[in-house]
Structure 1
Amino acid sequence: MAKDIELSESESKFILEALRQNYRLDGRSFDQFRDVKIKFGKEYGDVSVEMGNTKVHCRISCQIAQPYEDRPFEGLFVISTEISPIAGSQFENGNITGEDEVLCSRIIEKSVRRSGALDVEGLCIVAGSKCWAVRADVHFLDCDGGFIDASCIAVMTGLMHFKKPDITVHGEQIIVHPVNEREPVPLGILHIPICVTFSFFNPQDTEENIKGATNSEISIIDATLKEELLRDGVLTVTLNKNREVVQVSKAGGLPMDALMLMKCCHKAYAIIEKITDQILQLLKDDSKERNKYAAMLTSENARES
């Protein structure tokens, strides 16, 4: 994904030597996740997420479609990712087949749909004929590492914030009611999976397993772009607040033992718990603000009539 970005030999040595001495360029500790800033747009399901200099925008939408033949009682969920030059000069315009971009889409799709986070059966309208097709469009606006983690937060927050139009079904006829006529309906979210990515460095350049007990291997959480370019291995774990491991993704790199995997999951849980509480509080505050605004409009309309 960052094939056109190259670090000089001196800068690479400086970053690795700093890691050996337990320092990171941005001042964070090895186990510290960047502060997450979440903002909602005017429409339901419009979410922007910032993690340091990394910025991701997600827009949730839906339309009525036909379900898959082998899953007549389920709705559809699709993720579309787009990386454009606005995120960085290293990205080629229109390239939608980059390995990292495909990997990001697959990890989020597994985290949301295959884990049962989104109630796809609740999207069914008429079995085998009509259902809701929910789409998440993820746009990468600025790149400084951590795209998978930021995208997962944006998609899950967007799904929880989104509301689909209410409908009335008369046989095969479906009437979609506009928002000003009927209150829209939220999606069924059963749990909130969050991704946390670990990066591993092996300064001694050996092929031994990554073990938490040794001093030769270094692991950090939420790497920046420069740290990602120098890492020897990567691991993405997806958990929810119920301590359920939803997914483990390790795309090549150094081999890892079970003890290290357990330690990573334990570290990730504390981060996921904090982010989940932050998302729920922001959704609560946004709901209050929208209800307050709606009440003001209602009272104004009553006075005018």
Structure 2
Amino acid sequence: MAVKSETNDLSSEMELDAYRRLFPLRFHERHLSESIRPDGRPLGKARDTTIVLGAVASANGSALVKIGCTTMLAAIKMEVMTPTAEAPDEGCVALEFHMPPICSPLVRPGRPADVAPVISKQLSDTISSSGMIDLKELCLVSGKAAWMAYLDIYCLDADGALFDAALLSAAAAFSHLQIPVVSLNDDGRIVLVPEDNAGSMKEKEPVNKEKIKLKMKNVPFALTCILHKNYILADPTSEEESIMETFLTVVLDSSSRLVSLNKPGGPGLAQTSMIQDCIKLTEQRAKELERILNESISDMEVE
């Protein structure tokens, strides 16, 4: 009897899996009607999130972020540049978002993912408009030297809500960033001071005597929602994204200020009430992500 029961269970699982593959939308809608999702989450709940700071030892700042299975690795390298004439007292942030073939079977070797430049532009605009980074803090000598922060974000596993995870990884990497020690040499040029020589400071004039933590404010947090009929699905998986067309991404900062509202695709306009519900969900999610980020920073400082 036990063998027969196990055989029936296996047969049922195979039938369910076949139904899911052949009629994915019907499969998901059956769950939605019961206010549950195939992975067991309530409709408005995001996936479990973890942040690991200092994931890349050779970078000046780095972080590994996981939202469910979606995984992002962000790393920052600092280089000295000559500031522009239009902004002589400001540094710059240069961002690139990468999707190597390892992240998804949809990304083919030798071909950049179509969505990568879109997410890269969206990230750059969000970081700039949020005011998270005060570019004046990246100035070394007015009109002569400033920091260029090269931020590279690598998607290691693309399982939905890529922008949300990438933005969180960027914020986490900047929170971990330590600006290197530099000084003026005899030629009046800014030079990096090796860590083992930072205490002696034999150069002509120190610019900063120790590594500096970047002061961050108005940290932006994002939540992508799927709007399907009268349902709102927060933090969708790649499977959910592939079968439902209407998306809405809300970005709020740590003061609950609306940074951006983006509806990249889908038929028609979203109802005002649904947009308001998405904003409320984002407020809750932003508080949760801020807590996780602060806990990661505290753990790093203790170590």
Shorter-chain TM-score: what band? Answer: 0.7 to 0.9
Distance 1:240 1:145 in 2: 22
The correspondence for 1:63, drawn from 58, 74, 79, is: 79
Distance 2:130 2:291 in 1: 20
CA offset digits 1:176-196 (Å, max 9, x no partner) = 222334331112312211111
Q: Give the drift of 1:75.
A: 0.7
Query: How many aligned positions are there?
Result: 268
CA contact (8 A) 1:168 1:174 kept: yes
Percentage of pairs with the same residue? 23
Q: 1:274 matched to which residue of 2?
A: 288
Structure 1: unaligned runs, 5 residues or longer: 1-6, 203-216, 290-305
The correspondence for 1:128, drawn from 143, 162, 174, is: 143
Q: Give the drift of 1:239.
A: 0.9
Q: 1:13 matched to which residue of 2?
A: 26
Q: 2:157 matched to which residue of 1?
A: 142
- Output the TM-score relative to the length of structure 2: 0.82
Structure 2 letter corresponding to 1:165: P
Look up the SS of the partner of 1:180 in the other structure.
helix
Q: 1:50 matched to which residue of 2?
A: 66
Q: Give the drift of 1:277.
A: 1.3
Q: Give the drift of 1:95.
A: 3.1
Distance 1:89 1:230 in 2: 17
CA contact (8 A) 1:84 1:94 kept: no
Structure 2: unaligned runs, 5 residues or longer: 1-19, 199-209
Alignment of 1:94-113 (within 5 A): 94-96=110-112, 98=114, 100-113=115-128
- Output the TM-score relative to the length of structure 1: 0.82
Q: Give the drift of 1:81.
A: 1.1
Larger Cα-atom Rg: 2
Distance 2:192 2:139 in 1: 14
Q: 1:247 matched to which residue of 2?
A: 260
Change (3 A) 1:94 1:75: farther
Change (3 A) 1:259 1:12: closer
CA contact (8 A) 1:83 1:139 kept: yes
Give the alignment's Cα RMSD to 1 decimal: 1.9
Q: 2:250 matched to which residue of 1?
A: 237
CA offset digits 1:98-155 (Å, max 9, x no partner) = 1x22222122212212221011111122333321000111111112111111111111
CA contact (8 A) 1:110 1:247 kept: no
Runs of 4+ in structure 1 off by over 6 angstroms are: none
Structure 1 letter corresponding to 2:265: G
Q: Give the drift of 1:8.
A: 4.1
Look up the SS of the partner of 1:62 in the other structure.
strand
